[in-house]
Amino acid sequence: MADRRTWRERPLYQLTIVRYLEFVREPEALFWTFIFPVLLTAGLGIAFRSRPPETAKIGVLQGPVTEAVAGPLEADARLEVRRLDDSAAAQALRTGKIALLVVPVASGVTYRFDDARPEARTARQLTDDVMQRAAGRIDPVRVSEELVRERGSRYIDFLVPGLLAMGLMGNGIWGIGFAIVDQRRKKLLKRLVATPMSRAEYLASFTLSRLGWLILEVLALVGFGVLVFGVPLRGSLLMLGIVSLLAAFTFGGIGLLIAARPRTIEGASGLMNVAMLPMWVFSGVFFSATNFPAAMQPFIQALPLTAAVDALRATMLEGASLAQLAPELGILGAWMVGSFVIALKIFRWQ
């Protein structure tokens, strides 16, 4: 018997549209998908905004020759100098109010500081520079400075693609995982498998239904980053779309896999955290994944979030081509197909 139904009357379309409607009729889900990533970006963007170089806070110990030592130091804009007596100086140094204490002695000065602290080392160099020049040092090489603050190399530029990838992961895994476990718990799943519905189409519909809002999700975050923080978008929108879509489908597949067995929301929630925690830590959302030891790199590079973060960063910041992204896209594709196939095999339908 020929099936004469239109595509709108077919199960894959119907399953997808119903899932989509369920999502858009859930105001909380809209908040977590669209508003939360933007708020997070705004918060981190403000916290790590580019600032003028900070002044070094130092102290000079009160004594007979204080004036001669402190005078030139106070004249330099890069230094913030406090004159302190013995006990106040010790306390300020201990609590980090000053990074370095200059102690005038008979033959010159002593610098008292903790060489394990970067800002103390910077303060030592600055202070010494000013002291030596004031005493008449002539630098043999003439130096001039040219300042470069390039778009694309700031922390916010690094952060936005990372947060986008993290959002795609969270929405894929939470959005799909919870919806499926909820249907299992309410026995709706059992009712569906009592019909001639194709099980593969049921699972595929969850991933497909992400399509509709994926565009908005990506545009909301990337648009915010570009317009508010001037984050560069050097790759084409098409490339951004392709990479985001593949990442969304991959995390959707992982969401299906996680939701394949649990009967309760609590059970699923635990599994989701176990799956996502290593990726939050290792995949380089907030700092480069190369900070981890070389021995861990094969594991880290194989994580889907690492691949998604790297691919999105390369697209946005470097305008990488499809061919250049082949390794990352390959890793994502393997995760997508693998998790979907395994999910379909081990899925608990009742």
Partner 1 sequence: MGMTPAIRLQGLRKTYGAVVAVDHLDLEVGAGECFGLLGPNGAGKTTTIEICEGLTAPDSGEVEILGRRWAGDATGLRQRLGISLQETQLAEKITVEETLRLFRSFYQSGHPVEEVIAAVQLGEKRKARVGQLSGGQKQRLAIAIALVGDPELFFLDEPTTGLDPQSRRQLWELIETIRTRQRTVVITTHYMEEAERLCDRVAIVDHGKMIALGTPRALIASLGAQYVVEFGVTEGVSLPEAELAGLTGVVGVRQEGGHWRLQAAELHTVVPSLLALLDRTGVALTELSTHAPTLEDVFVDLTGRHLRDG
In the list 136, 193, 276, 333, the residue contacting partner 1 (rule: CB under 8 A) is: 193
Q: Which CB sits closer to partner 1, 10 or 137?
A: 10
Cβ pair 169, 251 in contact under 8 A:
yes
Supply the minimum distance, in Å, between the C-beta of residue 13 and partner 1. 8
In the list 75, 194, 200, 216, the residue contacting partner 1 (rule: CB under 8 A) is: 194
Cβ pair 20, 212 in contact under 8 A:
yes
DSSP 287: S
Supply the minimum distance, in Å, between the C-beta of residue 8 and partner 1. 9
DSSP 317: I
Based on the shown chain and the rule CB under 8 A, indicate whether residue 142 belongs to the binding site for partner 1.
Answer: no
Q: Within positions 20 to 59, which residues make up the interface with partner 1, using CB under 8 A?
A: 21-22, 25-26
**Where does residue 102 fall: left (phi above 0), alpha (psi -120 to 50 degrees), or beta otherwise?**
beta
Total interface residues for partner 1 by CB under 8 A: 28
Distance from C-alpha of 100 to C-alpha of 119, rounded to nearest angstrom: 9
Supply the minimum distance, in Å, between the C-beta of residue 9 and partner 1. 6
* Structural element, H or E, at residue 113: strand 108-113
Distance from C-alpha of 310 to C-alpha of 257, rounded to nearest angstrom: 24
Q: Which CB sits closer to partner 1, 117 or 186?
A: 186
Residue span binding partner 1 (CB under 8 A) among the ranges 3-11, 145-153, 162-170, 310-318? 3-11
Block residue for tokens 């985001």: 244
Contacts of 10 (CB under 8 A, 6+ apart): none
Residue span binding partner 1 (CB under 8 A) among the ranges 19-27, 52-60, 131-139, 228-236? 19-27
In the list 42, 44, 197, 334, the residue contacting partner 1 (rule: CB under 8 A) is: 197
DSSP 54: P
Q: Within positions 257 to 296, which residues make up the interface with partner 1, using CB under 8 A?
A: none
Supply the minimum distance, in Å, between the C-beta of residue 257 and partner 1. 22
In the list 53, 195, 294, 298, the residue contacting partner 1 (rule: CB under 8 A) is: 195
What is the full DSSP assignment across 73-105? HHH-TTEEEEEE-HHHHHHHHHTTS-SEEEEEE
Supply the minimum distance, in Å, between the C-beta of residue 303 and partner 1. 33
Beta bridge partners of 257: none
Cβ pair 100, 125 in contact under 8 A:
no
Residues that bind partner 1 (CB under 8 A): 1, 3, 5, 9-11, 13-15, 17-18, 21-22, 25-26, 183, 186-188, 190-191, 193-198, 350
